[in-house]
Amino acid sequence: MPDTSTRTRRPFRTTALGAFLLRLFRHRVGFAAAIVVLLITLAAVFAPLIAQYPPNDIDADARLANPGGSHWFGADSLGRDLFSRLLYGARISLLVGLVSVSLSAVIGTLLGVIAGYYSGWRDNAVMRFMDVLFAYPAILLALLMIAVLGQSTSNVIIAITIVFIPGFARVARAPALSVMTQPYIEVLRCAGASDRRMILRHVVPNVLAPVLVQFTVNLSYAILIEASLSYLGVGIKPPNPSWGNIISDGQQFMLVSPGQVAFASAVLLITIGAFNLLGDALRDITDPRERRSS
């Protein structure tokens, strides 16, 4: 009997982009977070146009200058403009976050899909390896990678990438595994569909929604880890500006000039918070259980 009320949920696809954006728009917190994320991204992309000074330009007269005047957020102990450094810091944070999370999303999802699709020994091999990576606390794994590879921006990216791979693999494997138990997969297989086609047409679309959520949430963690590494002095090398090293630099002078720590912390907190809230919102609107109730 045809029943229109319980139409099966279609997996998230780009063709549903309009509906998806509408749901995001209706989710007030998610929408606000998306706007903040967008603003920060724009600020990072157009940093050279917005910033009044190059980030490493030293103005000796402005050392530890208070906010206001020609230096909107003040200047650091060397007389570098804080606003400009924070803008360029956004570039580094977002770049490191975006590249490392994208890399780990691609690698992790691929591993997860392979594990879920083939099951058996391939599943075992991949997932046991992921378990091992999970056995390291995240920051420790990143520290270990930096210790081995040396301190540089690209190594920070590699370290964070490795940290996130197992998470993506797990998130991608579960839906892949459950798709493979659907009866229609058996039918397709009998009809002679190739592995490649099966994975791309039937497995990947089901995996996309949870991966997207994980992607957004991990962006916030990536920014947090990068900031922590830089704060600890093993991340982005000074004089390159990173929010983490700006804070650790400002900490030495925070009694006389608290602005540096305050502004950088605020920017960092807002950015991580926005990505986090956006991730939560995406989870709400892509989770079929949540959607039904709304």
Residues that bind other proteins (CB under 8 A): 128-129, 131-133, 135-140, 143-150, 220, 224, 227-228, 231-234, 244, 247-248, 251, 254-255, 258, 261, 265, 268-269, 272-273, 276-277
Residue 20 or 231 having the CB closest to other proteins: 231
Q: From the CB of 14, what's the least distance to other proteins, in Å?
A: 29
Residue 104 or 276 having the CB closest to other proteins: 276
Q: From the CB of 146, what's the least distance to other proteins, in Å?
A: 7
d(CA 244, CA 232): 8
Q: From the CB of 98, what's the least distance to other proteins, in Å?
A: 18
Q: From the CB of 261, what's the least distance to other proteins, in Å?
A: 6
Q: From the CB of 247, what's the least distance to other proteins, in Å?
A: 7
Residue 138 or 236 having the CB closest to other proteins: 138
Q: From the CB of 225, what's the least distance to other proteins, in Å?
A: 9
Q: From the CB of 75, what's the least distance to other proteins, in Å?
A: 20
Residue-wise burial string across 27-43, b where 16 or more C-beta atoms lie within 10 A, e elsewhere: beebbebbebbeebeeb
Residue 11 or 166 having the CB closest to other proteins: 166
Residue 84 or 276 having the CB closest to other proteins: 276
Residue 56 or 152 having the CB closest to other proteins: 152
Which has the closest alpha carbon to 52: 77, 68, 70?
70
Residue 157 or 204 having the CB closest to other proteins: 157
Q: From the CB of 233, what's the least distance to other proteins, in Å?
A: 7
CB–CB of 163/142 below 8 Å?
Answer: yes
Residue 20 or 275 having the CB closest to other proteins: 275
CB–CB of 54/83 below 8 Å?
Answer: no
The DSSP annotation for the chain comes to ---STTPPPPPP-GGGHHHHHHHHHHSHHHHHHHHHHHHHHHHHHTHHHH-SS-TT---GGGTTPPSBTTBTT-B-TT--BHHHHHHHHHHHHHHHHHHHHHHHHHHHHHHHHHHHHH-HHHHHHHHHHHHHHHTS-HHHHHHHHHHHH-S-HHHHHHHHHHHHHHHHHHHHHHHHHHHHTSHHHHHHHHTT--HHHHIIIIIHHHHHHHHHHHHHHHHHHHHHHHHHHHHHTSSSPTTS--HHHHHHHHHTTTTT-THHHHHHHHHHHHHHHHHHHHHHHHHHHH-HHHHHH-
